[in-house]
Amino acid sequence: MNFNIITCFLILLLVLVLPQVNAQTDSVSPASQKLVQVTIDREGNVEVVHQIRDSKNPQELEFIKGTVSNVEFIDKIGRHESMDVVEGAKHMVILPNQGELFVKYDLDNALIQKDGLWTLDFRYLETTTFVIPEEIKLFFVNNRPVLLDEKNAFTCHGCQMILEYSIDEPKTIEYVNWEDKKFEVEMISFAEIENFEFSQPTKKISFKVNDDNQFVTAVIPLELLWGPYAVFQDDEKIYFHEYINNGTHVWLNMRPDTAGNITIIGTTVVPEFPIIAPLAVGFLMILVVPLIRKFNLH
């Protein structure tokens, strides 16, 4: 009889206590983060650092998606403390009144490499700064090319993206001779490119890409072929980006789904309409218009 009473009491106690435990877990607020930095090295290793503000209440830090390892706490005077996490853990609780601290960890197998292209599928709602290898000047975010001038870092706000980049991407120079001029067209790609041709009468550059789904960048002298441009693969128009124009050259980037023949068509070719001509005409108009007005006044 006494055994049955004790058993009923324990069950009742569990019913009353468990909801309170769950309520306490649900009340933990997301960690207040001052900084999130993702550093990628040349070999594709990823290190993440979160700077957490101090709080009087427990905080829950959400890890960046991936396999988390080598977790460390670093306080404001630089003391390190390692911590083990359960395999597959997606978050951790930061205890209150620890002062501002850094949480650092490795993100294993976050990057995938295929045919020379590194890919990171990333989603994190906090503003995140990415530090990438210095060798990378051109990378792609959701298939859009991005060029870095000096700093090897960029910031993503409320970030959801596919980051793609290559290191030591092959570059070839194709030479175009027309009358007494020689032009260089630079081709950048891991894809094999052959049968490069330039046609002055039809205002086009053509070449064959022998690999599927590879980024191809063509650096074209404006004096050779001027835009606006259109790009075709096997007579079908395809999407491309014109993402740099420094006044002498244009960078055109495309990513054909399959191997095939690529044609870049412009509107003007040398020597049909030299690149200096529009500038000369504009400068001449600046000089002539005041003279015409002065003549009309008299």
pLDDT at 146: 87
Reported residue count of the chain is 298
Preceding omega of 228 cis (within 30 degrees of 0) = yes
Query: What DSSP character marks residue 98?
Result: S
**Cβ pair 119, 165 in contact under 8 A:** no
pLDDT at 3: 39
pLDDT at 271: 58
The edge-to-edge listing of strands for the beta sheet with 236-237 is 193-199, 204-209, 260-265, 230-233, 236-237
Region 18-30: what's the mean pLDDT?
A: 51
Instruction: Round to whole Å and give the CA distance between 75 and 52.
Output: 10
Closest CA to 34 of 68, 61, 4: 61
Q: Give the strand pairing for 268-269 and 29-30.
A: unpaired
How crowded is residue 20: how many other Cβ atoms within 10 Å of its Cβ? 9
Q: Give the strand pairing for 153-156 and 128-131.
A: antiparallel
pLDDT at 199: 92
pLDDT at 129: 96
Region 75-103: what's the mean pLDDT?
A: 85
Higher pLDDT, 82 or 24: 82
How crowded is residue 56: how many other Cβ atoms within 10 Å of its Cβ? 6
Preceding omega of 96 cis (within 30 degrees of 0) = no
Instruction: Round to whole Å and give the CA distance between 186 and 252.
Output: 11
Helices (H) and strands (E) in the chain, counts: 2, 27
**Cβ pair 93, 38 in contact under 8 A:** no
**Cβ pair 220, 188 in contact under 8 A:** no
pLDDT at 248: 93
**Helix or strand run (H / E) with residue 124:** strand 117-124
Supply the pTM of this predicted model.
0.73
Q: Is the pLDDT of residue 73 over 50?
A: yes
Binning pLDDT at 50, 70 and 90, where does residue 99 land?
Answer: confident
- Give the tens place of pLDDT for each residue, 223-281: 999 989 999 999 899 999 998 888 899 999 999 999 999 999 998 766 554 444 454 44
